[in-house]
């Protein structure tokens, strides 16, 4: 199943910048591993915001929830998930 996910990151004001840099490095490693295995299909920065839009291709809600919950930045994120279905006018679906 495909999901559009928006992640909005709010770094804690009082966190040591070096600690936050370490969390971001772990986040990047985690995201790259999921991109390499094909489950995190795309990630785009939202212009002017500390946010991204991502496309995930996973078995279903439970797998996506586990992936999102294990994000190192999860405690500092608001996440919105939109499940995607095939559009009848999609050329690829003809
Ligand atoms: O910077 C972000 O948008 C949060 C994030 C998700 C994966 C990653 O590497 O950073």
Summarised one tens digit per residue, pLDDT across range 41-59 is 999 999 999 999 999 999 9
Length of the chain: 94
Q: Which atom of ligand 1 is nearest to the CA of 32?
A: 9
Tell me how far the alpha carbon of residue 59 lies from the centroid of ligand 1, in angstroms: 22
Question: How would you class 64 by CB atoms within 10 Å of its CB: exposed for 0-12, middle for 13-18, buried for 19 or more?
Answer: buried
| Mean pLDDT (whole number) for 18-28 | 97
79 lines ligand 1 (CB under 6 A): no
Check if the interface score ipTM surpasses 0.95: yes
Q: What is the pLDDT of residue 4?
A: 99
Residue 78 Cβ inside 6 Å of ligand 1? The answer reads: no
39 phi, psi to nearest 5 deg: -85, -25
Residues near 33 by Cβ (< 8 Å), separated by ≥ 6?
Answer: none
Q: What is the DSSP string of 10-44?
A: ---TTS-HHHHHHHHHHHHHHHHHHHHTTSEEEEE
Q: Report residue 80 CA to chain centroid gap.
A: 10
Q: What is the pTM of this model?
A: 0.95
All domains of the chain, ordered by start, with CATH? 2-86 (3.30.70.1060)
């Amino acid at each position: 199943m495909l999901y559009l996910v928006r992640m909005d990151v709010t770094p804690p004001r009082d966190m040591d910048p070096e600690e936050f840099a370490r969390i971001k490095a772990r986040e990047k490693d985690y995201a790259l591993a999921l991109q390499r295995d094909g489950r995190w299909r795309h990630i785009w920065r939202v212009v002017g915001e500390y946010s991204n839009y991502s496309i995930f291709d996973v078995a279903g809600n439970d797998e996506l929830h586990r992936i999102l919950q294990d994000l190192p930045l999860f405690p500092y994120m608001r996440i919105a998930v939109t499940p995607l279905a095939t559009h009848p006018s999609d050329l690829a679906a003809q």
